[in-house]
Amino acid sequence: MEVRFHMEANAAEALRNAEVIVRLAGDGFKQGMFPSAAGAGFPVQLEEAATRFAAKGLFKAEAGETQLLPTLGLTQAEHAVFAGIGGSHTAETLRRKAGAAAARAVRKLKAGSMAVLVDGYVFAGIPECRTAQAAQALTEGLLLGLHSRKANRKETAEETEIAVTFAVPDTEGSGLPSATLSEWEKGMRRGVVFGQATCFARDLTNLPGNMLTPEMLAMEAEQLANGLGLDIEVMDEWTAAEQGMGGLLGVGQGSVNPPRMIVVHYEGAPDDQEKIGLIGKGITFDTGGISLKRADGMEEMISDMGGAAAVLGAMRIIAELKPKVNVVAVVPAAENMPSDRAIKPGDVLTTMSGRTVEVVNTDAEGRLVLADGLTTAIRRGATRLIDVATLTGAVMVALGNVATGAVTNDDTLMQEVVLAGQVTGERIWPLPSFPEYNKLIESDAADLKNSGGRHGGTITGGLFIGAFNESLPWVHLDIGGTAWLDKERGWEAKGATGVMTRTLAEFVLRQDINPGT
């Protein structure tokens, strides 16, 4: 679905031209204390009807709750959707609850246009939420809520379009705190960029394994980079061998589809020596290799390149918003397959860094390719590192599918990443990295072994990757529980969620010493 956003200062005009009208409602609404929007062309009869629903407890205006009413000819729009925002709401409420819930209600109506009425009521109780922040959050919620997985069917429905108009009055007495059309438009446009990049990451992750081999992922990255004017390197298996990428080559050697090392460069501050390295795990399909996974649920392993998708999506945002920061994005891409050529438990690999690894479990393959990914980023000048990976199932045991697990060697960098996640509504939970955990990945046959066993599996998996950071500030994000969902939740879609796309971009944008110049 293609979604187009624009603004209209003439609220009555916006409401007249929409098929569906969305009105936000909170605690004051159910108590009958809310400003009437009759002056903006919203029928008083609909307000009264919704109030009666609220009085009977049928619509409590709680965050994420919606009430659909047919307009019965009271206005040109066929339906009105009241979207609850609750009482003490935040920008995240506008994104996760109101925006996404309203979008799904509208999606069911198969409408081609919707008008979202914005007045001072939207901001009641959240003085810390500036107009631009609210606009971005609401835009992201609507865009991500409207997005759904594309199916490959014999008869495919035509691509639909929906026009979303924000009716934002730019007049005194509107109730908007320092609200101007330019502020709302700035936030809206930023929300569109963030939302579209997340949808891009979702679509990439949702592709079946036969439609996204390592080479195909490299082609997707090339198309993205060329379209945004970014420099890109794609190293094939021969170049990888010349550079000693034993981790990447070892994982990929069992597949007929050879691996690729993908490097995308963004130079926003050429005179600055600082460079952020974003490294995303790109296992385009993971069978577990010789340490074969269970058959049940293995089809979800198309999502094992969710980290790569997040990094590429973040680069899309960065390239469009152009912060004065340097970034190198690295995607080690491979297919983990069992065959007569595949690596075996007990094999020893020599990574690009020169460190050797005893493979005790071929299903712990993501950390092997990320080892070479970190070294690749460092050799291209990265001074701070963030890797993103669907690394372990153990992270779901600890955190479920609610939060992303994190391991670091630098608390300051970790705090910055966590703060970026708080802004985007993507929860990150730091895990300990006590020295005792490193003992679990010591090997008698090599410098390291690639698995420390079940206990502390998310931590030891992260610390294995950290062994290749060359003492640079580093954060590992394990999205094994958050990259894929079995059912919709808030702004997160069923299937690939595109998680960490917006957080990585938000982190990078916050490093710009002269934002907006």
**421 in a domain, yes or no?**
yes
Determine the Cα–Cα distance for residues 506 and 420; give it in Å rounded to an integer: 6
Number of domains in the chain: 2
Question: Do residues 405 and 499 share a domain?
Answer: yes
CATH code where residue 111 lies: 3.40.220.10
Q: What is the mean pLDDT of the chain?
A: 91
Mean pLDDT score, 107-129? 75
Higher local confidence (pLDDT), 167 or 262 = 262
Residue 145 has pLDDT above 60, yes or no: yes
Residue 127 has pLDDT above 60, yes or no: no
Distance, C-alpha 102 to centroid of its chain: 20
Question: Do residues 160 and 206 share a domain?
Answer: no
**440 in a domain, yes or no?**
yes
Per-residue confidence (pLDDT) for residue 184, from 0 to 100: 85
Question: Do residues 145 and 232 share a domain?
Answer: no
Question: Do residues 397 and 493 share a domain?
Answer: yes
**189 in a domain, yes or no?**
no
Question: Do residues 343 and 281 share a domain?
Answer: yes
Confidence band (pLDDT; 50, 70, 90) for 1? confident
Last residue of some domain: 150, 169, 188? Answer: 169
Confidence band (pLDDT; 50, 70, 90) for 180? low
Per-residue confidence (pLDDT) for residue 517, from 0 to 100: 42
pTM for the whole structure: 0.95
**H/E element, 316:** helix 306-321
Per-residue confidence (pLDDT) for residue 369, from 0 to 100: 98
pLDDT in tens, 290-318: 999 999 999 999 999 999 999 999 999 99
**Residue 110 annotated as binding?**
no
Question: Do residues 102 and 214 share a domain?
Answer: no
Q: Which residues of 473-508 are buried (b: 16+ CB within 10 A; e: fewer)?
A: bbbbbbbbbbbbbeeeebbbbebbbbbbbbbbbbbb
Question: Do residues 47 and 90 share a domain?
Answer: yes
**Residue 447 annotated as binding?**
no
Question: Do residues 233 and 159 share a domain?
Answer: no
Determine the Cα–Cα distance for residues 162 and 20; give it in Å rounded to an integer: 11
Q: Which residues of 48-58 are buried (b: 16+ CB within 10 A; e: fewer)?
A: ebbbebbeeee
Bridge partners of residue 235, in order along the sequence: 261
Per-residue confidence (pLDDT) for residue 105, from 0 to 100: 92
Most trustworthy range by pLDDT among 97-111, 157-171, 464-478, 481-495: 464-478
**Residue 363 annotated as binding?**
yes
Question: Do residues 26 and 149 share a domain?
Answer: yes
In the numeric block, the tokens 């960029």 are attached to: 193
**Residue 231 annotated as binding?**
no
**Residue 281 annotated as binding?**
yes
DSSP 130-188: -HHHHHHHHHHHHHHHH--PPP--SSPPPPPEEEEEEE---STTS--TT--HHHHHHHH
Give the residue numbers annotated as catalytic, written as ranges. 293, 367
Radius of gyration of the chain (CA): 24
**195 in a domain, yes or no?**
no
pLDDT in tens, 31-51: 666 667 766 788 889 888 888
Question: Do residues 129 and 270 share a domain?
Answer: no
Tell me which amino acid residue 511 is: Q
**11 in a domain, yes or no?**
yes
CATH code where residue 266 lies: 3.40.630.10
> What range does the domain containing 493 cover?
201-509
Last residue of some domain: 126, 154, 169? Answer: 169
**276 in a domain, yes or no?**
yes
**183 in a domain, yes or no?**
no
Q: Which residues of 283-306 are buried (b: 16+ CB within 10 A; e: fewer)?
A: bbbbbbbbbeeeeeeeeebbbbbb
Confidence band (pLDDT; 50, 70, 90) for 60? confident
Burial of 79 (0-12, 13-18, 19+ CB in 10 A): buried
Higher local confidence (pLDDT), 75 or 346 = 346
